[in-house]
């Protein structure tokens, strides 16, 4: 089996169409010939097909409520057993905790205004915003996922932002603003693996249902005007609490890796050498103490 591809598959841009599951499978956009969810459970789901197999699926265009797999009678296709958090269902949870993009393929079998009239169409990258379980119409437990499109510019916060625009000053409706956006990169995933998701400040590991959760902090931030690089010598593996405190400038690090704002030393692994220029940048630009 070839390594799974996360993100767009070269040669198949958004909008690519496929006559059949066989053609779709050969493209590597969604390799399995039948299953609706592709990708190893420990690494994360690469893609899903929305094709009408589950009556509870709901397609809102840039948001999809997707039902997990399993527990159906192969003949009647009725849900006869609880779905388990294994295989593809677990892979989608891994995608959520790792922040990986999931390709969405829509098939004509799902009746919605967003489905193609025939065959299958690759409709771009979504992220798993949340997951939960519920008792479906069948009386059995199903796993459900809220996927949000993010390869169109306005997707990640679309509903909330629009709502906010109009409604912020009005007190009677729920409105949200953005407090924090945690982003992830390939190198971020590497530093988290290196530390097995243990915080380099406090050592804590937050255990989730599909493996542990941690965040990677860029010492010199990415993006304008800092333009720090996405490299291991500019990255730390932190728990969310210490990520917040590091970004707020309440904790920083000396050149000899002592912590300022927290007692003790930064936890480091052999071979993970931090760039002293980036440490200095954090102390000089982000740290608030003296």
| Tokens found for residue 277 | 């220029």
Nearest to 51 by CA among 111, 11, 129, 126: 111
In angstroms, the CA 155 to CA 150 distance is: 5
CA 59 to chain centre: 19
Least distance (Å) between residue 64 CB and a copy of itself = 10
Least distance (Å) between residue 159 CB and a copy of itself = 7
- Is 181 a residue that touches a copy of itself (CB under 8 A)? yes
With respect to a copy of itself, which residue has the nearer C-beta, 40 or 119?
Answer: 40
**162 backbone dihedrals φ, ψ, rounded to 5°:** -60, -45
Pick the piece of the chain touching a copy of itself (CB under 8 A) from 33-41, 73-81, 109-117, 184-192.
Answer: 184-192
Q: Which of residues 239-278 bind a copy of itself (CB under 8 A)?
A: 239-241, 243-245, 247-250
In angstroms, the CA 34 to CA 120 distance is: 13
In angstroms, the CA 125 to CA 100 distance is: 9
Q: Which of residues 23-62 bind a copy of itself (CB under 8 A)?
A: 58, 60
Least distance (Å) between residue 179 CB and a copy of itself = 3
Q: Which residue has the tokens 């916060």?
A: 157
H/E segment holding residue 103: strand 102-107
Least distance (Å) between residue 34 CB and a copy of itself = 25
> Please, are residues 232 and 275 in contact by the beta-carbon 8 Å criterion?
no
Pick the piece of the chain touching a copy of itself (CB under 8 A) from 35-43, 94-102, 105-113, 114-122.
Answer: 94-102
- Is 168 a residue that touches a copy of itself (CB under 8 A)? yes
Nearest to 110 by CA among 59, 158, 180, 41: 59
**285 backbone dihedrals φ, ψ, rounded to 5°:** -110, -25
Least distance (Å) between residue 244 CB and a copy of itself = 6
Pick the piece of the chain touching a copy of itself (CB under 8 A) from 7-15, 21-29, 71-79, 267-275.
Answer: 7-15
With respect to a copy of itself, which residue has the nearer C-beta, 109 or 156?
Answer: 156
In angstroms, what is the C-alpha Rg of the chain?
Answer: 22
- Is 156 a residue that touches a copy of itself (CB under 8 A)? yes
CA 137 to chain centre: 28
Q: Which of residues 96-135 bind a copy of itself (CB under 8 A)?
A: 97-101, 124-125, 127, 129-130, 132-134
Q: Which of residues 191-230 bind a copy of itself (CB under 8 A)?
A: 204, 206-209, 213, 215, 221-226, 229-230
């Amino acid at each position: 089996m070839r390594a799974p591809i996360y993100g767009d598959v070269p040669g198949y841009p958004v909008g690519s169409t496929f006559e059949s599951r066989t053609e779709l499978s050969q493209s590597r956009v969604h390799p399995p010939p039948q299953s609706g969810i592709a990708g190893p459970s420990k690494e994360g789901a690469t893609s899903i097909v929305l094709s009408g197999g589950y009556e509870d699926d709901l397609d809102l265009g840039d948001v999809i409520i997707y039902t997990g797999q399993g527990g159906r009678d192969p003949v009647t296709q009725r849900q006869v057993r609880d779905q388990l958090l294994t295989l593809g269902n677990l892979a989608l949870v891994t995608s959520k905790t790792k922040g990986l993009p999931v390709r969405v393929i829509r098939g004509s079998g799902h009746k919605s205004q967003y489905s193609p009239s025939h065959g299958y169409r690759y409709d771009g990258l979504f992220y798993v915003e949340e997951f939960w379980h519920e008792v479906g119409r069948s009386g059995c437990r199903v796993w459900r996922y809220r996927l949000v499109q993010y390869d169109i510019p306005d997707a990640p916060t679309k509903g909330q932002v629009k709502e906010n625009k109009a409604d912020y000053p009005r007190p009677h409706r729920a409105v949200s603003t953005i407090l924090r956006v945690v982003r992830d990169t390939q190198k971020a995933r590497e530093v988290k693996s290196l530390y097995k998701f243990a915080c380099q400040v406090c050592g804590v590991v937050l255990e989730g249902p599909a493996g542990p959760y941690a965040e990677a902090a860029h010492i010199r931030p990415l993006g304008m005007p800092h333009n720090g690089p996405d490299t291991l010598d500019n990255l730390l593996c932190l728990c969310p609490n210490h990520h917040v405190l590091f970004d707020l400038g309440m904790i920083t690090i000396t050149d000899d890796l002592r912590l300022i704002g927290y007692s003790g030393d930064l936890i480091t692994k052999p071979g993970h050498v931090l760039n002293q220029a980036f440490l200095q940048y954090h102390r000089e630009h982000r740290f608030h103490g003296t």
